[in-house]
A and B are shown apart, each in its own frame.
Chain A
Amino acid sequence: MIPAPFEYVAAASAAHALDLLGEHGDDAKVLAGGHSLLPMMKLRLAAPEVLIDIGRLTELSGITSDGDELVIGAMTRHAELAASALVRRGAPLLAHAAAQVGDPQIRHRGTIGGSLAHADPAADLPMALVALGGSVELRGPAGVRTVGADEFFTGYFETVLEPDELLAAVRVPSRPGQPWGYQKFTRRANDWAIVGAAAAGGRIALANMGPVPVRALAAEQAAAGGASPAEAAELAAEGTSPGEDIHADRAFRQHLARVLTRRALEHQRH
């Protein structure tokens, strides 16, 4: 299966990409690694008329320290993120999440910016960002705005990113030594999570339990109040309204959310 026809432009700079987005609006999509967008286009679930390729923009890649935050360029590939010494030290949950995405070939191409902008609630990086309480830098014609993880995702494959904005960078707190846990429940290794749970620094995020990566707030509060992982995890599914599919019905998903949350709170990573 092949995409419908489109125009292709290789952006010369981030500013150029923004100009193009401004010019084409909804008719255009940004092409980063292409491993969220191109699969959709090949299935004809998306058919933008213009693709703006930011793949060669070095200004959008790179991982640096900025005070007590790590700043990760949007074009950072999952493989690079997973291997980054900076990230493995300061935000190992994020490096681990990146290593879980798809398979090696996909990780060579997919980017953090693309993955977050795609906003699949079953994916690894959106859940990881919410668990870490990170934020995204959105660059638009009016300048740069920073949006926190809890506000960025608004629905299935929906974010606050405007058609004329570019997701330029991702920020996560750097917390060397902070315990963390990550659970991704799948049938096969390179599947999306049937349910996922990630926990760090008092925050718990769940994948595929709703239209966005959801915070397990009741469980967080219980844990903050001194409850054991098992006790806190009993509340993990509260307030969630997960979908049903061939892998799991609602009750099973909520059960998995509890089990995986407990294991994440116990700092299990597999």
Chain B
Amino acid sequence: MQVNLTVNGKPRSDDVEPRLLLVHYLRERLGLRAANVGCDTTSCGACTVLLDGESVKSCTVLTAQAAGQEVTTAEGLGDGDTLSPVQAAFRQEHGLQCGFCTPGMVMAATGLLAENPHPTETQVREGLEGNFCRCTGYHNIVRAVLAAAEAGGRDPAGDPATATAAATAGPGQSAEAAQ
């Protein structure tokens, strides 16, 4: 079946199986592999993206359900060479270690701050209860979200960190540019 939707600002039209999960569509069809599949039970949030600006777990959304909507992934945050305020805060506060939960965590945090620009620590923790991390113990993730909130949309460290895949390709990766 044909599905039309917008992904990171670009319109897409693709023929998909009805059961194709949005996360697999993004990863396999569009090559946007920042979102990860971390569980089978809609528990871990590693697949979190924004759907019309709201955080959702893309492993539990059919691509077909997203027809006519706007999907934003981690690749679509920020602005070419500049990290978004949330992304920059995660770096500043060492809110990531192995990075597997990170795109989902960043998207969930972005969605959280859109709805609650000045959360308390408790609200941050509750706001991220759908995103699991095994490495950080959440401590610095919480600091990052609070720092991003404080920056209020401004890049907290003036971080011009380059963000293109090609510049920082890891071992075994071809330069697959974000779409």
Contact = CB atoms under 8 A, between A and B. Distances in A.
Say if the two chains contact directly (CB < 8 Å).
yes
Scoring B60, B130, B131 by chain A CB atoms within 10 A of each residue's CB, the highest score goes to B60
A105 B67 contact: no
B21 interface: yes
B85 interface: no
Given A103-B129, A106-B57, A190-B129, A39 B42 contact: yes
Contact of A38 (B45, B62, B108, B126): B62
B21 A2 contact: yes
A113 interface: no
A106 B60 CA distance: 9
B42 to A, nearest CB: 5
B73 interface: no
A8 B42 contact: no
A1 B47 CA distance: 14
Contacts of B42: 35, 38-39, 102, 106
A106 to B, nearest CB: 6
Contacts of B67: 10
B18 A8 contact: yes
A144 interface: no
A19 interface: no
Contacts, number: 85
A3 interface: yes
Contact of B65 (A5, A55, A105): A55
Interface residues of B, number: 34
A190 B130 contact: yes
A103 B130 CA distance: 5
Contacts of B60: 34-35, 38-39, 42, 109
B79 interface: no
Interface stretch (B4-12, B48-56, B134-142, B167-175): B48-56
A252 interface: no
A119 to B, nearest CB: 18
B108 A10 contact: no
Interface in A40-72: 42-43, 51, 53, 55-56
B61 A34 contact: yes
B119 to A, nearest CB: 11
A7 interface: yes
Contacts of A10: 64, 67
B112 interface: yes
Interface string B90-122: 000000000000000000100110010000000
Nearest to A41: B19
A189 interface: yes
Interface of A: 1-8, 10, 31, 34-35, 38-39, 42-43, 51, 53, 55-56, 79, 102-106, 108-109, 188-190
Given A42-B60, A105-B111, 13 more contacts: A2-B21, A6-B19, A8-B62, A34-B62, A34-B65, A38-B61, A39-B60, A102-B42, A102-B130, A103-B45, A104-B127, A104-B129, A109-B57
- Closest 9 pairs (CB-CB, A-B): A103-B130, A8-B18, A189-B129, A108-B54, A1-B40, A190-B129, A103-B129, A105-B57, A3-B19
18 contacts: A2-B21, A5-B18, A6-B18, A6-B19, A39-B42, A42-B40, A42-B59, A51-B62, A53-B64, A56-B68, A103-B131, A104-B115, A104-B127, A105-B111, A106-B57, A109-B60, A190-B129, A190-B130
